[in-house]
Amino acid sequence: MKKLSLFFIVLMVISAFSLTSFAANTIKIGIVDTYTGPATTYTQDVLDGFKLAVDKINASNGVLGKKIELVTRDDKFKPDIGRAMAKELVLKENVDILVGTINSASTLAISDLAEKEKIPFFVTYAKSDRIVGEKGHRYVFNMNENTEMAGRAAAVALSKKPFVKYWIAGDDYEYGHAIANAAWNNLKKLNPRVRKVGESWWKVGEADFTPYITQIIAAKPDFIIVATGGSGMVNFQKAAKATGLSQKIPFYQHTANELGTLLPQGLNAPEGVYGTSAYFFYINYPANRAFVAEFMKAYNRYPKGSAYSGYMTARFIAEGFKKAKKIDREALINALEDMSLDSSVGRVQIRKCDHQLLLPIYFGKTRKDPKYNFLISSENQIISSKDYISSCNEVLKARKK
């Protein structure tokens, strides 16, 4: 009996050792994002882009001999669930790194946890400029364009247009106001002739835009800055086409010309809508052609901007550890500061002062193309990050407020 008990004890020790050895040979990454509801049109591409890069990395002997393992959690687009899921991943799953999420409120909640637990957190698609601005810290990285970047980039392009009388409209929450303020404040600096003739704000999820559109048409502005996010993007475009607004007054929306917005509408999307985006699958760079071919082979669809974000996040994590020459969180952070990589849109860099990925933003307008059954972005102007990005002094000043 004693021999039998001893046998089981030895077996348990060997098993525990094996599990520990397995864990030691992996880099465990926890991804918290929204995997139910409308947001999945973007988040699924983030995950698939991330997996595509990870599969390629693991097939090439991993990172410093260690394979990357992924664990996912659904925050259901709710900040309290997002933080709870991230906490579970850190304390129970013992992940080495956190990644996510599309919801800015969830992102800020997880970011706070990441700072307390001293674990690197890579933001893949939330857009609030507060993430690495006012609320930024050592352990958070933003791997896509934020509201300040998008608005300021749009202003650079609009400042060269002949429009003078502007109307501002959008969703009455942080994202809407942040985009509108960034665009308008920078536009006024670049073109002092512009003036605002009015503005309208509607509740998030409001379905009937007709009263607002009627008011805007009556005011006869030259141009409209439309600050919408999520489902409001497509719903406003549909209303603009149905009421004739899109034929009467040109307007701008961030990501209006992005695949995630245009694909669901097919050929029914309005033409001539101005938009900004950090990525198009038809960017004619060799690196992008290779990425698109990889993505289409794996998933049989074109990659959206969120797929590019997920793919590059995984690459930066892997290359950061390689540069650090060890699997260590603090060493990873130090290695990533001011690190740059070649990508589908050219060379991109993580800025040291705020951990923001610096990348070009494309300003263009929608049109039909005989090659596709959805609209694409045309007449694209590339806005370099040096022409729109907030300075490090501006970021650090915001953090002290």
Please report, in tens digits, the pLDDT of each residue of the chain (401 residues total).
444 455 454 445 444 443 433 356 899 999 999 999 888 989 999 999 999 999 999 999 999 999 999 999 999 999 999 999 999 999 999 999 999 999 999 999 999 999 999 999 999 999 999 999 999 999 999 999 999 999 999 999 999 999 999 999 999 988 999 999 999 999 999 999 999 999 999 998 888 999 999 999 999 999 999 999 876 889 999 999 999 999 999 999 999 999 999 999 999 999 999 999 999 999 999 999 999 999 999 999 999 999 999 999 999 999 999 999 999 999 999 999 999 999 999 999 999 999 999 999 999 999 999 999 999 999 999 999 999 999 999 998 888 86
d(CA 184, CA 52): 38
* 8-state DSSP, 145: -
Rounded Cα gap, residues 332 and 27, in angstroms: 12
Long-range contacts of 51-59 (CB under 8 A, 24+ apart): 51/310, 52/294, 52/295, 52/298, 52/299, 52/307, 52/310, 52/311, 53/310, 53/311, 53/312, 53/313, 53/314, 53/315, 53/318, 54/314, 55/298, 56/294, 57/314, 57/315, 57/318
* Fold entry, domain 8-145+284-359: Rossmann fold (3.40.50)
Specify the pLDDT at position 22: 39
**Domain spans in the chain, listed from the N-terminal domain onward:** 8-145+284-359, 149-282+361-388
* b/e sequence 291-310, b meaning 16+ C-beta within 10 Å: bbebbeeebeebbbbbbbbb
What size, in residues, is the chain?
Answer: 401
CATH fold for domain 149-282+361-388: Rossmann fold (3.40.50)
pLDDT at residue 10 in the model: 44
Same-fold call for 8-145+284-359 versus 149-282+361-388:
yes
φ and ψ at 260, to 5 degrees? -60, -30
Helices (H) and strands (E) in the chain, counts: 15, 15
Name, in order, each residue with C-beta under 8 angstroms of 291's C-beta and a sequence gap of 6 or more. Answer: 303, 308, 311, 344
Contact 305, 278 (CB under 8 A): yes
